[in-house]
Amino acid sequence: MGTKTVDETGVKTDEDKTDQAAVAPEKAGSETAGTEAPAGDDAGTDHVSADADADAVAKDEAAAEDEDAGDAATGAAADEGPTGVGQGAGAVVSAGLGIVSLTGSWVGTVASARESLIGQLETSSSSDVGMLIEKGYGNAWHATALWGGLFALVALIVGVVVLARPAFGAPGRSQAPWIKSVAWAGVALGVIGLLLAVLKYTDILLGLPSTG
């Protein structure tokens, strides 16, 4: 620091003025730094808190959207699941019954054996060959054709119901392609089985031999 010197008129010299000018900015800088530092810290803390709050809100909104989407998917599955499952089961049943109508069933086999036994009992004391063939084999053959025709008819009805079901359901709900394919297969097998059953029952197809 400079030394205070006073001239004869009582005015400070230039050396003292220079020292005072150098000290003044240092004091001003210290005071400014001391007052502004806390303000800067508070601003940074507020900014971090705001970012954390924004992130939390965004996470909550995302979780809510995911939950809503999951609920919507579950509701849609609940609405469409039973209908699709029922139609698929019906299509498979139709195709299965159609196959049974062509290959035979244990019900038809038992009915045929029963009719054959009844015919043998009725003709045990008869010597008429025509009656023996008719009672012993003709009735059994007709019983087999009858039961095959019943299975074919049920297969046809179930297949048609499955194919017509979407028309009576919710509008805009499409039927799965595989359900249509299996249902159409059941309808086709039912028609074929029903036709064969009629031909066998009327003796047009593989009729009984003539005894004349």
| pLDDT tens-place values along the chain, 212 residues long | 444 444 444 444 455 544 554 444 444 444 444 444 444 444 445 555 666 666 666 777 777 677 666 665 554 444 444 557 888 999 999 999 999 999 988 998 999 889 888 888 877 776 677 777 777 788 888 899 999 999 999 999 999 999 998 877 666 677 888 999 999 999 999 999 999 999 988 888 877 777 65
Q: Dump the DSSP string for 26-80.
A: HHHHHHHHHHHHHHHHHHHHHHHHHHHHHHHHHHHHHHHHHHHHHHHHHHHHHHH
pLDDT at 91: 93
Q: What is the pLDDT of residue 71?
A: 61
pLDDT at 93: 95
Q: In total, how many domains does the chain have?
A: 1
Question: Is there a domain that residue 188 lies in?
Answer: yes
Classify residue 56: in a domain, yes or no. Answer: no
- In single-letter form, the type of residue at position 123 comes to T
Which pTM value belongs to this model? Answer: 0.58
**Rounded CA separation 173/199 (Å):** 40
Question: Is 11 inside a domain boundary?
Answer: no
The answer as to whether 99 is a domain residue is: yes
Q: Is residue 20 part of a domain?
A: no
What pLDDT does 185 receive?
95
Q: Which range marks the domain in which residue 150 is found?
A: 88-122+129-167+176-202
The DSSP-derived string for 149-171 is HHHHHHHHHHHHHHHHGGGGS-T
Q: Is residue 33 part of a domain?
A: no
Give domain status of residue 1, yes or no.
Answer: no
